[in-house]
Chain A
Amino acid sequence: MSIKHSLLALLAQESKYGYQLKTEFEAATGGATTLNIGQVYTTLQRLERDGLVAEADVDDEGRRSYLLTRVGRVELDDWFDAPASATTSQRDEVSIKVLIALASAAADPQQVLRSQRAATTGSIQRLTRQKMRTEDLAEGLHLDRQIMAGEAELRWLDLAEDRIDHHRATNNGTNAGVSQ
């Protein structure tokens, strides 16, 4: 699931507290995804245990802030570089990845869009080739369904590319990150 990686991305630039991460994750995903604060703390503990983040500071009220480690950076880059796949999540991994790239400046969102587009296009080609090989109506319909899901994803990728370009053009070429 991408919460782990989203938190890593949000910790890439500066150290943050758990509650701050919850707020920024929700803002980054346009409020479409809400996080339980307990879930954030559990995830942070696990990330710390695995050496992907390290404690940066404890404030007067005992709240801990965390920062990405070098190992965490490698893990994060791998996530951004790998096109979203089936095995990961029920949530919309592709859009979360783009939105988090946009919000965190931890990766170039256009690059994420490009690599996802290449992967999705390849999948649609493969499914289409498979469709030509089948005589079976049910299998053909199942393949059509998957192809159309891929098409919808490509349409969104194209739209996102245009919107991000437009946003950058109208913001003097500065990073298109959402306001924090």
Chain B
Amino acid sequence: MTDQKSIVLEMRQAGRQYVGPRGIVSALADVDLTVRLGELVAVVGRSGCGKSTLLNLAGGLDQPSLGSVRVNGIELGTLSGKELAATRRRHIGFVFQALNLLPTLTAAENVALPLELDGATTAAARTAALTSMADTETAALADAYPDELSGGERQRVAVARALVGDRNLLLADEPTGALDEATADAVVRVIRRRVDTGTCGGVLVTHDMSLAAYADTIVRLRDGRIDSVTETNFTDADFERADLFGTDPEGTLR
């Protein structure tokens, strides 16, 4: 999985500057970030550290002032507004803290919507929607309306919509911010399992380290720059060595 083809998102020295009354303000600088298929990257940091700016650049909601942002090999920085919108629709799915679903459509219609907007027939879109919903354990909720769903169910449907069809980059911005801990944990597990199928990659922005810990890589931002990167690549052997409650082999937390 190290070939170029498996790279979904690649940010190279990406930065975003704004011209303010007192000169140039840097919201984000020197960001190097790679997300491959099957990989979940968490972005953590205090409010104002640049998390949202990073996600906006990754998702083509904003364009970099410096460096490069590529999604499935497509350089976003040089696209026109129209091309950017088309690229977003085909490749990228967002999940926000709330208001992800249109209240007048059923769950399945919500999930199918991006494909229909992109020209798919209603039948084809529904089939793809149900497939994506099965992957987030929401197929049974297909014909329910958003206000009939719990908060956790709504977010799982939102994940299904974000990754419907061929879209393979999931960008989640505090997707569990409005949920209780057990529900939030369940939603992030669904994201983790979905990513583990190897058909997509994801970026999870969160302030909650227990959720960030589901990621393979945790990027900590500070003052608009990457402060640290923690990568883990656990093998099965790491877990076989651990006994029932000997869950922390290095013993850092005991």
Contact = CB atoms under 8 A, between A and B. Distances in A.
B209 A127 contact: no
A127 to B, nearest CB: 6
Interface in B226-254: 228, 230, 232, 234, 238-239, 242, 244-245, 247-254
Interface in B188-209: 189, 192, 209
A117 B253 contact: no
From B220, B239, B247, residue with most partner A Cβ within 10 Å:
B247
A85 B189 contact: no
Interface in A57-73: none
B80 interface: no
B56 to A, nearest CB: 24
A177 to B, nearest CB: 24
A117 B230 CA distance: 9
B248 A127 contact: yes
Given A128-B210, A128-B214, A151-B209, A119 B250 contact: yes
A142 B254 CA distance: 12
Contacts of A123: 248, 250, 252-253
A150 interface: yes
B117 to A, nearest CB: 34
B251 A85 contact: yes
A85 B250 contact: yes
Contact of B209 (A84, A139, A143, A150): A150
Interface residues of B, number: 27
B158 interface: no
Interface residues of A, number: 34
A4 B192 CA distance: 44
A118 B228 contact: yes
From B238, B242, B248, B251, residue with most partner A Cβ within 10 Å:
B248
Given A125-B213, A126-B249, A132-B192, 16 more contacts: A84-B252, A86-B254, A119-B252, A120-B252, A120-B253, A125-B215, A125-B232, A126-B232, A126-B238, A127-B248, A128-B214, A139-B245, A139-B247, A142-B245, A146-B247, A146-B253
Interface of A: 83-87, 114, 117-130, 132-133, 139, 142-143, 146-151, 153-154, 158
21 contacts: A86-B251, A118-B230, A119-B250, A120-B252, A121-B209, A122-B252, A124-B213, A125-B215, A126-B232, A126-B234, A126-B238, A127-B247, A128-B210, A129-B239, A132-B189, A139-B245, A143-B247, A150-B253, A151-B209, A151-B210, A153-B253
